[in-house]
Chains A and B, each alone.
Chain A
Amino acid sequence: MFQAPFCLYLHCQGQRRREEEGPYTGGHAVIGFYFAKELLGSGHEVTIMTEIVSAGGRTVWGDPAEVGKAVEGATFDVVLDNNGKDLDTVRPVADWAKGAGVKQFLFISAGIYVRSDEPPHVEGDAVKASAGHVGVEKYIAEIFSSWAVFRPQYMIGSGNNKDCEEWFLDRVVRKRPVPIPGSGMQLTNIAHVRDLSTMLTLAVENPEAANTKIFNCVSDRAVTLDGMAKLCAQAAGLPVEIVHYDPKAVGIDEKKAFPFRNMHFYAEPRAAKDILGWCATTNLPEDLKERFDEYVKIGRDKKPMQFEIDDKILESLKVPVAE
């Protein structure tokens, strides 16, 4: 009889991004909500470490470094760590899991591929040796007999605490130009988080197939930065004015000015398709309509906002901003 795995999921606490702060880490916290929901729907038992809206799962609070204490000695078949960014944060969890007899360790890594002339990034391509996540991936592979690593990129979905489509909508609804660095042709993956959660669930349900594998946790279509701006505007039923600029020429920190990497950041989910029989369902034109509805529902379109960096960019380009 199939025994549904008993899963522990480590959730990353994110903070809502504010304009004056720099970009924060933990943008993929939202994966956990969908993943947990999916697993629960399939009859697994799920314990989530830290806060989550209750959907039948059990929640525990605690410091991931002391996870054993937090779960009070309960045993698990599967652990998904969506919290750690480097070996310091993940090692205590991995060590505890190993010692506690956890069968499968899943780790949400990051897009850490080395730049390439030949997109897309596929599993097996070279990664940046210096990235913290690389150390984690190596360690997990050493100590677990059943493990898998997931490399996500950008995502949209209710509960996401990192700005994605919101950044474009903030400008479009206020009839402000959308400043995009470079040519706007940069390709990136923006997936609906449900695609990521279905991939994770398939890995839990097919541990032999997933074992020792790395999975690009993205949808199967990329979008250009210009394209994303246009799709957000279309979802809102509004026009869009895109303005391109050179961050160096303007003299601003491009990381603070724009929430996406100023380069091709484009991976394909080939391993998930080949090995897990996974399918993407992200449909940006449709999904963004839903995201826009929620954006309006929470009143963000009416929220007063400052656009200091935008203004600096537009001023240097002498682009007028409608009041």
Chain B
Amino acid sequence: MASLVAVQQQTQPSLSILPSSLSDFNGTRLHTQLQCKRKVWQTRGALQVTASSSKNILIMGGTRFIGVFLSRLLVKEGHQVTLFTRGKAPITQQLPGESDQDFADFSSKILHLKGDRKDFDFVKSSLSAKGFDVVYDINGREADEVAPILDALPKLEQYIYCSSAGVYLKTDLLPHSETDAVDPKSRHKGKLETESLLESRAVNWTSLRPVYIYGPLNYNPVEEWFFHRLKAGRPIPIPNSGMQITQLGHVKDLAAAFVQVLGNEKATKQVFNISGEKYVTFDGLARACAKAAGFPEPDIIHYNPKEFDFGKKKAFPFRDQHFFASVDKAKHVLGWKPEFDLVKGLADSYNLDFGRGTYRKEADFSTDDLILGKSLVLQA
């Protein structure tokens, strides 16, 4: 078993506060380059060597979205992979485009530990009985879910956590970087508290913060929302200016990042934003979905959400603000690089899932009709 390597924390250059004397004309060499610890990355292109030994890996979750892709990659790498789930969803499902042979191979190797992760006693006893080298926590939401896992596995080599860029404090200075302020009051504060707990325990942890994830099997109506409307030939109602900038990351690229941090000493106690390399405006996303799925350019209607009462329904699946994060750290430190650009990724999602007639949520155009109804009235 690989032993834990204590690595000096790679400090990222934070927004430094320079003394004001550096800005006057003294001819002194600016100190900034000395403060900057970034070197030209030699690791670029040379992927971190993954652990040559096969690991005994536990995935909390793994049957719904990210874990479906991650577990396959890990099994392919030769690791022993166990999924901890309540068993509500099938442990394995054949993916569109996956060959029968590959699926059979995967199904024969994947293991299942049935249980409820909220039953902390069961978690502790079952995990300590089995013993695992590495835990991927894909569906954890609250810090109290993590403690029993750590207690059960004192020799754990690495705890790899799926966090969220939703922890960042809203700011006018973008993109978000891993050193940015976080929001202890956000909807994702459970993720933050989990990261803090991991930091406080003597465990080798790594946390990945995705933005909006998309791809085949997505259960969050991100691309699905646009595809429903495009398929129905309906206009796309987008709040306010439509120039709000967001960011989508393909699930397969996220799964690859999860694999790249496994046994990677550069990932020790590090947080990484993982998402697409380019961001996109709301209007741009509507156009990208149309392009990916082979629909004509959509009719976009902008509206002021304040003029409507949608009740409990969400009229638009994204936060009405700029929200995107830089993935420079993962690229530079891990040598990770997304395979999918936005249109290619949306096409992958459409061709393997939504374009085949499958979807998670039924189309519901009631909020659209409210918006469009009012728009028509105004035009008349």
Where the two chains meet, the residues of A that have a C-beta atom closer than 8 Å to any C-beta of B are 33, 37-38, 40-42, 53, 55-56, 116-120, 122, 157-158, 182-183, 185-187, 194-195, 197-198, 202, 209, 220-224, 226-228, 230-231, 264, 268, 270, 273-281, 283-284, 286, 290
**A273 contacts which chain B residues (CB < 8 A)?**
38, 328, 332
Flag if A37 contacts B23 (CB, 8 Å).
no
Given contacts A198-B30, A228-B172, 10 further A-B contacts (CB under 8 A): A37-B25, A37-B27, A55-B27, A118-B284, A158-B24, A185-B244, A270-B328, A277-B38, A279-B38, A290-B20
Which chain A residue has the least Cβ–Cβ distance from B287?
Answer: A117
Q: Which one of A202, A222, A283 lies within 8 Å of B174 (CB-CB)?
A: A222
Flag if B40 contacts A209 (CB, 8 Å).
yes
What separation, in Å, do the CA atoms of A118 and B287 have in the docked complex? 11
Flag if B172 contacts A224 (CB, 8 Å).
yes
Which chain A residue has the least Cβ–Cβ distance from B240?
Answer: A183
Which chain A residue has the least Cβ–Cβ distance from B44?
Answer: A274
What separation, in Å, do the CA atoms of A278 and B16 have in the docked complex? 14
> Which among A55, A120, A231 has the highest number of chain B CB atoms within 10 Å?
A120
Flag if A119 contacts B27 (CB, 8 Å).
no
Which chain B residue has the least Cβ–Cβ distance from A286?
Answer: B17
Confirm or deny: B218 has a beta carbon within 8 angstroms of a beta carbon on chain A.
no
What separation, in Å, do the CA atoms of A268 and B16 have in the docked complex? 19
Flag if A283 contacts B283 (CB, 8 Å).
no
Flag if B175 contacts A42 (CB, 8 Å).
no
Flag if A38 contacts B29 (CB, 8 Å).
yes
Confirm or deny: B173 has a beta carbon within 8 angstroms of a beta carbon on chain A.
yes
Number of interface residues of B (CB under 8 A): 48
Known contacts A117-B284, A187-B174; is A279 also within 8 Å of B36 by CB? yes
How many A-B pairs have beta carbons closer than 8 Å: the answer is 131
Flag if A40 contacts B173 (CB, 8 Å).
no
Which chain A residue has the least Cβ–Cβ distance from B284?
Answer: A117
**B322 contacts which chain A residues (CB < 8 A)?**
185, 187, 224
Which chain A residue has the least Cβ–Cβ distance from B343?
Answer: A118
**A228 contacts which chain B residues (CB < 8 A)?**
172
8 Å CB interface, B227-252 against A:
240-241, 243-245
Q: Which one of B22, B172, B280 lies within 8 Å of A231 (CB-CB)?
A: B172
8 Å CB interface, B149-199 against A:
171-175, 177
**B33 contacts which chain A residues (CB < 8 A)?**
198, 202, 279
What separation, in Å, do the CA atoms of A53 and B44 have in the docked complex? 42
Flag if A158 contacts B29 (CB, 8 Å).
no
Which chain B residue has the least Cβ–Cβ distance from A225?
Answer: B172
What separation, in Å, do the CA atoms of A197 and B23 have in the docked complex? 12
Flag if A158 contacts B172 (CB, 8 Å).
no
Nearest CB of chain A from residue B93's CB, rounded to whole Å: 32
What separation, in Å, do the CA atoms of A209 and B177 have in the docked complex? 26
What separation, in Å, do the CA atoms of A227 and B30 have in the docked complex? 28
Which chain A residue has the least Cβ–Cβ distance from B286?
Answer: A117
**A283 contacts which chain B residues (CB < 8 A)?**
15-18
**A187 contacts which chain B residues (CB < 8 A)?**
174, 245, 322
**A122 contacts which chain B residues (CB < 8 A)?**
278
What separation, in Å, do the CA atoms of A283 and B35 have in the docked complex? 14
Q: Which one of B16, B29, B175, B288 lies within 8 Å of A281 (CB-CB)?
A: B16
**A209 contacts which chain B residues (CB < 8 A)?**
40
Which chain B residue has the least Cβ–Cβ distance from A195?
Answer: B32
Flag if B278 contacts A120 (CB, 8 Å).
yes
> Which among A119, A228, A280 has the highest number of chain B CB atoms within 10 Å?
A119
Known contacts A53-B25, A194-B22, A264-B243; is A118 also within 8 Å of B279 by CB? yes
Flag if A290 contacts B23 (CB, 8 Å).
yes
**A274 contacts which chain B residues (CB < 8 A)?**
40-41, 44, 332
Flag if A194 contacts B243 (CB, 8 Å).
no
Confirm or deny: B281 has a beta carbon within 8 angstroms of a beta carbon on chain A.
yes
Q: Which one of B13, B28, B173 lies within 8 Å of A279 (CB-CB)?
A: B13
Q: Which one of B40, B175, B279, B280 lies within 8 Å of A221 (CB-CB)?
A: B175
Confirm or deny: B123 has a beta carbon within 8 angstroms of a beta carbon on chain A.
no
- List of 7 A-B pairs having minimum Cβ-Cβ separation, nearest first: A227-B172, A117-B284, A279-B36, A41-B29, A277-B40, A183-B241, A118-B278
Which chain B residue has the least Cβ–Cβ distance from A192?
Answer: B23
**A202 contacts which chain B residues (CB < 8 A)?**
33
Flag if B281 contacts A194 (CB, 8 Å).
no
Q: Which one of B20, B30, B35, B243 lies within 8 Å of A183 (CB-CB)?
A: B243
Flag if B23 contacts A194 (CB, 8 Å).
yes
**B173 contacts which chain A residues (CB < 8 A)?**
221-223, 227, 284
Nearest CB of chain B from residue A288's CB, rounded to whole Å: 12
What separation, in Å, do the CA atoms of A274 and B331 have in the docked complex? 10
Confirm or deny: B326 has a beta carbon within 8 angstroms of a beta carbon on chain A.
yes
Flag if A117 contacts B175 (CB, 8 Å).
no
**A281 contacts which chain B residues (CB < 8 A)?**
13, 15-16, 18, 32, 35-36
What separation, in Å, do the CA atoms of A194 and B21 have in the docked complex? 13
What separation, in Å, do the CA atoms of A119 and B175 have in the docked complex? 11
What separation, in Å, do the CA atoms of A284 and B17 have in the docked complex? 10
Known contacts A41-B29, A230-B172, A281-B18; is A117 also within 8 Å of B280 by CB? yes
